[in-house]
Structure 1
């Protein structure tokens, strides 16, 4: 059936049709993301490449900073991206099973996510991840349609869906390509042959100076400015961050494909039948990821984004490899624990928070900015990392309670409901 056929039978996934494993993982990922994001509610995003473990901290603040960097940073953003890829794959596979096209709904879903992300990054917090996810989803759709058109032309028939192994292979290749580029950049780095600064060095120094000015402006605006001032600064920050999109898109699309492969292979949709995959993912992934993180942390914790030495390149690459390996290992650990004694508790508490992951993610940003920004309680720079983590745990506990209360009365979270209505082009029933 052609992609122009009406998608009128497509509808939001009913609560009884959801894969609870994915909801539990979303809730878990939401907590990890909050533990990292909270630092940048009270610190400018221009510091995103500053040392991941601040050497000026001490005591409990240093301990929490170290734990967050080693065990959390990078891993849960990666897990969230994998889960988004699984969600998009669920939509594609449901449409294929029903014999209906999915492109119109998928396009509306991605554009709606882009709109939500833009509202978030401009009006709430500029550390948004939704815009990059939406752009990655649109790029993935374009690549799929080109592939299908080429296969129709070359084979003269409707192509079969991409297999899980092929999806995983393409995902790993896309995720790994920037890592190869980073290593090559580090290998090709060499000291200048003259004491006079080169043109590239001069331009680099100019960019550093401009970034320092942007940082100072951000600190002044977010710590003391009005809401209107903060909106203007968020626009500046968002435009500045757009420079990272080309390389970030490789990672996002790669993770979407890896997540889709895990879903399509049955590892996530039927985990009990795939324990022979999940247990090695946990038992090998955890020590391998921790070793990679240990070496990376020993080499350094900064994330240089322009000129870098070979040592720095190895440090960054090991960090990114560990982020993916540990995201998969953490997920496998949680999934294999679900049939055990902790499974019911995880399902009762993490799953509701995961079903409302988008609403909860936006709420975390709203709470964080109202606490730390000048137009809120103005706590910018006054709360150490240890108390930040305590605050995150308290807010997340309230979100788990609130999510259970809400979903006992409604079928979807509030933002999820709006997203689904736009996706499927009609008002979905929201009452439970």
Structure 2
């Protein structure tokens, strides 16, 4: 890296990151909210064994049931959707001024996304977070970049179309699993008399066994996986890397449509001023009314449908065997867009009101250091839960893991403003910018 240069503040003709004066506080606040909210959804993957919800998902008398209900209705998918929208807006923040000055940004942006992909690979395969999104966002961001100049109305009108495509991809995934399940059930019925399966039947049984290992582990698999997760780094890594690689390769195409659509929506909403608090309070209230008025009944019905029809794994298999298409799943992409719009409008109204400004400033600092704080989630949670750390994996009840979430929130809400008081960027943001522009960026504040 001997050619890495030092960025100088008096080089107006060179490409450079977004300056501090050009930062938009509402974008940082929304990014901070999304980042903190995402941890609510990620914490079970760090801490809970496979199929952990079966212990309480059909029992309303269990406190865990209601904690899960609130998480699913209010937050599930919405925080990731908000993060995707802000990521889309960030594409414009990264390129608009440079392109207006006549500079080409394509190579720079793709290099930026390339480094994000590498950060994601490190997050998944070195730090061992199988739910990493940096890898996927780096690749999908490259696609979203191609649509940045399309008129906002076309992007917004494309959301229902892409939501339908997302349902189609989900259905294709479901259909593939269902076909393997139906073949498996047929073979099981055929060999009940005790005869040895023939080669074709053995192949079908092996295919279903692969599905079990990836998605629906049996009781023995669950015990084996717990033992692995409570072991040394090498054992945990062997399991996590396999799962991560499957999602980054074999199943990757199934997850492209959703974040891509939301990134495009974020670009449109940024251009319209929705994400930068340029709408009137009346328009934000109307957005909340429509979003919550339609989205909440939809998500509540979706939750109730799952409660009645799929209270456990056996019931889920019966439902799969009798339903070639799960039409209720078309609700998901629409309800989450409606609710994330309502959530965002509510945040904008809070910002406009001027209340809890100190808290908002702290959330903005978290959002300004989103990459560092996201990777910090991985480091803290893996060292707290996995066997090579404090080994609390599969130890807590469901509701108790959110105490860990609240503790991490407090740490990041306290440390992020303190760090940014002395430095321009979070440590990983500084590294990312320096690698993107191939110039060492200024780090320590001089004022």
User: C-alpha distance in 2, partners of 1:59/1:42?
Assistant: 19
1:155-209 CA distance string (max 9 Å, x none): xxxxx9321112223344223312245569989989979x945989757633334
Q: Is the 8 A contact 1:338 1:346 kept in 2?
A: no
**1:273 Cα deviation from its structure 2 partner:** 3.9
- Residue 395 of structure 2 is aligned to residue 382 of structure 1: yes
User: C-alpha distance in 1, partners of 2:225/2:211?
Assistant: 15
- Residue 70 of structure 2 is aligned to residue 73 of structure 1: no
Q: Structure 1 residues 209-218 or 196-205, which shifts more?
A: 196-205
User: C-alpha distance in 1, partners of 2:174/2:391?
Assistant: 41
Structure whose alpha-carbon radius of gyration is higher: 2
Q: Structure 1 residues 277-286 or 55-64, which shifts more?
A: 55-64
Aligned-residue Cα RMSD (Å) equals: 3.3
Q: Is the 8 A contact 1:299 1:312 kept in 2?
A: no
User: C-alpha distance in 2, partners of 1:230/1:85?
Assistant: 34
Q: Is the 8 A contact 1:356 1:416 kept in 2?
A: yes
1:61 to 58, 64, 69: 64
Q: Is the 8 A contact 1:411 1:431 kept in 2?
A: yes
- Residue 304 of structure 2 is aligned to residue 283 of structure 1: no
> CA 1:291–1:315 in 2, change beyond 3 Å: closer, same or farther?
same
1:164 corresponds to: 152
**1:226 Cα deviation from its structure 2 partner:** 0.8
SS at match of 2:422: coil
1:259-278 CA distance string (max 9 Å, x none): 11111222223x23455643
> CA 1:328–1:122 in 2, change beyond 3 Å: closer, same or farther?
same
> CA 1:163–1:60 in 2, change beyond 3 Å: closer, same or farther?
same
**1:307 Cα deviation from its structure 2 partner:** 5.4
1:321-356 CA distance string (max 9 Å, x none): 222221121111101220113252343221111111
> CA 1:347–1:42 in 2, change beyond 3 Å: closer, same or farther?
closer
**1:371 Cα deviation from its structure 2 partner:** 0.9
**1:218 Cα deviation from its structure 2 partner:** 3.4
**1:251 Cα deviation from its structure 2 partner:** 1.0
- Residue 233 of structure 2 is aligned to residue 227 of structure 1: yes
SS at match of 2:302: helix
For residues 236-315 of structure 1, the aligned pairs below 5 Å read: 236-242=242-248, 243-269=250-276, 271-273=277-279, 275=281, 277-300=283-306, 310=323, 313-315=326-328
> CA 1:375–1:192 in 2, change beyond 3 Å: closer, same or farther?
closer
Q: Is the 8 A contact 1:222 1:230 kept in 2?
A: yes
User: C-alpha distance in 2, partners of 1:390/1:24?
Assistant: 23
* Structure 2: segments with no counterpart, 5+ residues: 1-11, 191-200
2:141 to 104, 129, 137: 137
User: C-alpha distance in 2, partners of 1:192/1:40?
Assistant: 29
1:150 corresponds to: none
User: C-alpha distance in 2, partners of 1:185/1:234?
Assistant: 22
* Structure 1: segments with no counterpart, 5+ residues: 1-6, 145-159
Give the aligned length: 406
- Residue 97 of structure 2 is aligned to residue 94 of structure 1: yes
> CA 1:81–1:17 in 2, change beyond 3 Å: closer, same or farther?
same
> CA 1:248–1:181 in 2, change beyond 3 Å: closer, same or farther?
closer
Q: Is the 8 A contact 1:110 1:134 kept in 2?
A: yes
- Residue 22 of structure 2 is aligned to residue 17 of structure 1: yes
User: C-alpha distance in 2, partners of 1:53/1:289?
Assistant: 25
TM-score under structure 2 normalisation? Answer: 0.81
